[in-house]
Chains A and B, each alone.
Chain A
């Protein structure tokens, strides 16, 4: 730089220079290394929890793309998740002994269905008002939920579908040995989930950081101003819904791979939308990384809080009231949620990011 840099150039220069030294980057690297090492913990429960956190981080992050970055309230996100899960389960179940190409076929089917349904949803509702999008997505999601319960020949109804996976992912198999460590089929599935979710998360972060991602935020903030700048609302919203929904169905595929069992209530239920909303709000709308925090918080509490309460209650066997209080773990979760929102009005990541950004920018005035 021969001439003096403007504050904007100084800020950008510093941001580029320090990228690999930035705390956020180091935290991400540490997180991935930590996730790789999780199977060393001799507890299936921990691995199960971490796998679910990864899967739901992706689902919630893609929900954040639609809700937080694009400003559209979709109730069909669980539906897309269910479509992914069911295409994996049904193809592996109905097509005879599981083969690798069933997995690929399931991915293609899930993606194709998500794209088509997302387009239908968008074309029928978004031309008018955003509220119709919410209504139509709710109707469509409920339709698929009923379909999952009632089309017994295909989906086995509320009994759910139990299926097995091919090759080294098959839990009946022996797994293999690597550097003296026994890698079980479970562990292999865990690593598959890990690789796919990290890849999808990176894709989502890139997406919202791209020029299109910036325009999405502009449209969310002020649609009239955006069109007056020459950005067309409709194609951008379609972009976001199609990508967000497809990634949600990828999350569904991972979920089915991990559990090898799907049932309508857990993957298609409209009520799981409430969980997604809680997770995305705890982490912070429009932050992406918040979805990891939100999913981790929610699933950790969901896994350990009932145990914790039961453990406490076991110490007071004579007090009926404490026994009863221990059963209602959702009530304590509700209190925790309210406290988090009071302390972090923009979600955990959203609030922290805002403070960091303000401090950083103050030095470039």
Chain B
């Protein structure tokens, strides 16, 4: 689509920037001198074959891993040394490739906790959690946004896989992050469930309040929603461009789409 391309022409400072980001696990260089810029309110997808280092790059940005060398810059500030919790407070919210929710808590409580974190309630132990009733109401509104309001009272482990992914997005929205890191939001979903998630992502993008990073396997899906696509192979960035250019790039065809495989 790319209807928001004009945004990047304004030469704004990128929200997130990686500078020569490298991480080694023993002899294996999982991410190798990756330089990427993520522009404000854009949706950039990261693709690449299995083991290309997509999720590792995510973990470096969100702070689960510390890089061997290189930097992560967020809003002009070097955040390379910060832990994941601090980065979340700064405004980087992430989802996980494997569903990651509080399974024994209620659906509403999952989202409410995110809002509590954002509201900076702090280490309060003399008030009852229910006295922060605004958080509950906001949580319900977010569940409505991801079309999950009917299940608010249920325990989260009773949700279907697709519903759990929706819940994850609601949790992320509860953090109200500047940057959303979505690690394969449609992984393991049945084909009927994918459009709903896609719709939610497009709605977030259309609201133009957040920068979105997306790791995805489904190439046709990325082509439709992304402003730009970065391609990783063996830990190296081999291409970073608008979707049309990426799909024509011979190196990408070779690395990712090659071997007689057609996208779609």
B126 CB–A CB distance under 8 Å: yes
B129 touches A209 (CB 8 A): yes
A178 CB–B CB distance under 8 Å: no
A6 touches B140 (CB 8 A): yes
B25 CB–A CB distance under 8 Å: no
User: What B residues does A210 contact at CB under 8 A?
Assistant: 124-129
User: What B residues does A229 contact at CB under 8 A?
Assistant: 85, 88, 113-114, 117, 171, 175
Partner of B137, one of A6, A217, A225, A364: A6
User: Which of A51-59, A135-143, A230-238 is the interface stretch?
Assistant: A230-238
A213 touches B85 (CB 8 A): no
Partner of A239, one of B123, B129, B130: B123
B113 touches A215 (CB 8 A): yes
Docked Cα-Cα span, A9 to B105, in Å, equals 19
Known A6-B137, A212-B123: A225·B130 in contact at CB below 8 Å: no
A222 touches B101 (CB 8 A): yes
A97 CB–B CB distance under 8 Å: no
B152 CB–A CB distance under 8 Å: yes
User: What B residues does A212 contact at CB under 8 A?
Assistant: 123-125
A207 touches B105 (CB 8 A): no
User: What A residues does B62 contact at CB under 8 A?
Assistant: 228
State how many angstroms separate the Cβ of A71 from the closest Cβ of chain B: 11
B123 touches A235 (CB 8 A): yes
A227 CB–B CB distance under 8 Å: yes
A206 CB–B CB distance under 8 Å: yes
B227 CB–A CB distance under 8 Å: no
Docked Cα-Cα span, A195 to B229, in Å, equals 66
B24 CB–A CB distance under 8 Å: no
Docked Cα-Cα span, A227 to B175, in Å, equals 12
User: What B residues does A218 contact at CB under 8 A?
Assistant: 102, 105, 113
B94 CB–A CB distance under 8 Å: yes
B220 CB–A CB distance under 8 Å: no
Known A210-B125, A228-B88: A8·B102 in contact at CB below 8 Å: no
B129 touches A221 (CB 8 A): no
Partner of A221, one of B84, B94, B102: B102
Docked Cα-Cα span, A218 to B103, in Å, equals 9
0 or 1 for each of B111-140: is its CB under 8 Å from A? (1 = yes): 011101110011111111110110011011
Docked Cα-Cα span, A228 to B182, in Å, equals 13
Interface size bracket, A side: 35 or more
Which A-chain residue is minimally distant from B90 (CB atoms)? Answer: A230
Number of interface residues of B (CB under 8 A): 47
User: What A residues does B85 contact at CB under 8 A?
Assistant: 227-232
B57 CB–A CB distance under 8 Å: no
Docked Cα-Cα span, A9 to B108, in Å, equals 12
B150 CB–A CB distance under 8 Å: yes
Docked Cα-Cα span, A227 to B64, in Å, equals 10
B101 touches A8 (CB 8 A): no
A211 touches B109 (CB 8 A): no
A222 touches B100 (CB 8 A): yes
A101 CB–B CB distance under 8 Å: no
State how many angstroms separate the Cβ of B110 from the closest Cβ of chain A: 9
B88 touches A230 (CB 8 A): yes
A8 touches B100 (CB 8 A): no
User: What B residues does A174 contact at CB under 8 A?
Assistant: none
A225 touches B100 (CB 8 A): yes
State how many angstroms separate the Cβ of B129 from the closest Cβ of chain A: 5
B117 touches A230 (CB 8 A): yes
A231 touches B153 (CB 8 A): no
B153 touches A365 (CB 8 A): yes
A30 CB–B CB distance under 8 Å: no
Docked Cα-Cα span, A118 to B102, in Å, equals 28
Which A-chain residue is minimally distant from B122 (CB atoms)? Answer: A211
Known A12-B133, A218-B105, A225-B101: A209·B140 in contact at CB below 8 Å: no
Interface centre among B102, B104, B105, B132 (most CB of A within 10 A): B102
Q: 9 other contacts beyond A8-B139, A211-B124, A211-B127, with CB at 8 A cut-off?
A: A7-B153, A8-B108, A215-B113, A215-B116, A222-B102, A227-B83, A228-B94, A229-B85, A243-B125
> 14 interchain pairs (CB within 8 A)?
A8-B139, A209-B129, A210-B128, A211-B121, A211-B122, A211-B132, A212-B124, A225-B96, A225-B101, A227-B88, A228-B84, A229-B88, A231-B85, A232-B85
**When A and B form their complex, which 3 residue pairs have the shortest distance between CB atoms, in order from nearest?**
A230-B88, A361-B153, A210-B125
